[in-house]
Amino acid sequence: MRKISLEKCQENMKLAKTIFTDDGRILLSAGIALKRSFIERLKLCNLSEVYIDDEFSTDIEINDVVDERTRNEAKLLVKSVMEEYKVTQRFDADRVKSVVNRIIDELLYTRDIMVNLTDIKSSDDYTFSHSVNVCILSLITGIKLGLNQLRLKDLGIGALMHDIGKTLIPKEILNKASKLTNEEFEQIKKHTILGHEILKTNRDISITSAHVAIAHHERYDGSGYPLGTKGDNIHQFARIVAIADVYDALSSDRVYRKKMKPHEVLEYMLTAGEVLFDRNILEHFVRSIAIYSIGTSVVLNTGERGIVVDVNRTFPTRPIVRVVIDAGGKRLASFNEIDLTKRLNVFIEDTCDI
């Protein structure tokens, strides 16, 4: 399978991954041929891309580090916890713990695999899928840093619930497409303090998990909020979640901006990382993420176009690429795979749509 933008999606293309609605129901099942009306419907759901199977990609397998069902369940859980809190001012921490435990088990089981995030997010359910991605990315970083199971659990719960304070911020401000006024931004900043309040009053949530909510927007150089805490005075969990949070936010479409391309996100993280993030944690993070995930279409400096079929653990920017279109724009009859760690004069120039 491979990833394709909805713009490029054509009638009768075969959907390779099931698409779920915000509330966990199946919208379109894997295997169906996409009709024009289906494609239009997906656009209405604010999706920008889908996975398809075609002659270039039927043999390309993509395994997410976390099972699709677990991911979907976690998303629904975040949603229901936020809704439950709004109505009853409490939430059931046991359900959160059990889903985090499952994610940890699955990650530990596949620990040597480089993360290939395959979540297709709509900008509508952003907060929920973002929370799950931040949880997964934080846990992978935690595993790389050698945290024990007990700490991983606290980290995972804090990461999954890091934005719970947003429940108490008006939706119109959170989803505002235009620039926020200073007042509105001040209000958004409060989700950190509010989230901390919500988590710390639940006796089943540890203090360290709750702390992630208040400190995940602090920055290593002291430029963050709400307190402006600096360096190692910021708790390690919050330093991890800060990186995962920014990475996933930049890689996602939002109501007010389009997502950045994978290499732009990496470049930003590494340059900003000098001052904003904990350098050591950032290095562990970058090493575990597939910058060009399997199934992504790329254009090489040779002018050829292809699909990423596998990643190289030590060189995240140099995956294995199956060239399917030559430099003249002609579709090739037989495909040629290039391992970019072995052909150093060839490199990825950009992502593209094929």
Q: Which of residues 280-309 bind Fe ion (CB under 5 A)?
A: none
The residue (of 244 and 311) whose beta carbon lies closer to Fe ion is 244
The residue (of 229 and 297) whose beta carbon lies closer to Fe ion is 229
Nearest to 320 by CA among 283, 346, 289, 301: 346
Region of residue 257 (left: phi > 0; alpha: psi -120 to 50; beta: else): beta
Nearest to 353 by CA among 42, 50, 27: 50
Q: How far is the CB of 174 from Fe ion (least distance, A)?
A: 10
Cα dihedral sign for 335, 339, 340, 343? negative
Q: Which of residues 152-171 bind Fe ion (CB under 5 A)?
A: 163
* Alpha helices (H) along 216-353: 236-250, 262-276, 279-288
The residue (of 77 and 164) whose beta carbon lies closer to Fe ion is 164
Q: How far is the CB of 130 from Fe ion (least distance, A)?
A: 9
Catalytic status, residue 166:
yes
Q: How far is the CB of 193 from Fe ion (least distance, A)?
A: 11
Q: Which residue has the tokens 């290593």?
A: 220
Nearest to 321 by CA among 286, 296, 301, 354: 296
The residue (of 163 and 278) whose beta carbon lies closer to Fe ion is 163
Encoded tokens for 244: 């995962």
The residue (of 163 and 248) whose beta carbon lies closer to Fe ion is 163
Q: How far is the CB of 195 from Fe ion (least distance, A)?
A: 8
Nearest to 306 by CA among 296, 316, 314: 296
Residues 310 and 294: their CA atoms lie apart, in Å, by: 6
The residue (of 163 and 218) whose beta carbon lies closer to Fe ion is 163
Encoded tokens for 241: 């979640």
Q: How far is the CB of 250 from Fe ion (least distance, A)?
A: 14
For Fe ion, which residue has the nearest CB?
163
Contacts of 327-331 with C-beta under 8 Å, sequence gap 24+, read 327/302, 327/303, 328/303
Catalytic residue among 79, 121, 166, 259: 166
Residues 285 and 279: their CA atoms lie apart, in Å, by: 10
Q: How far is the CB of 299 from Fe ion (least distance, A)?
A: 34
CB 341 within 8 A of CB 315: yes
The residue (of 153 and 216) whose beta carbon lies closer to Fe ion is 216
Encoded tokens for 91: 């939430």
By CB under 5 A, the count of residues binding Fe ion is: 1
Site map 113..152 versus Fe ion, x via CB under 5 A:
----------------------------------------
Q: How far is the CB of 262 from Fe ion (least distance, A)?
A: 22
Distance from the Cα of residue 61 to its chain's centroid: 19
For Cα atoms 99, 103, 105, give the angle at the middle one, nearest 5 degrees. Answer: 115
Q: Which of residues 93-112 bind Fe ion (CB under 5 A)?
A: none
Which residues sit at the interface with Fe ion, rule CB under 5 A? 163
Active site residues: 166
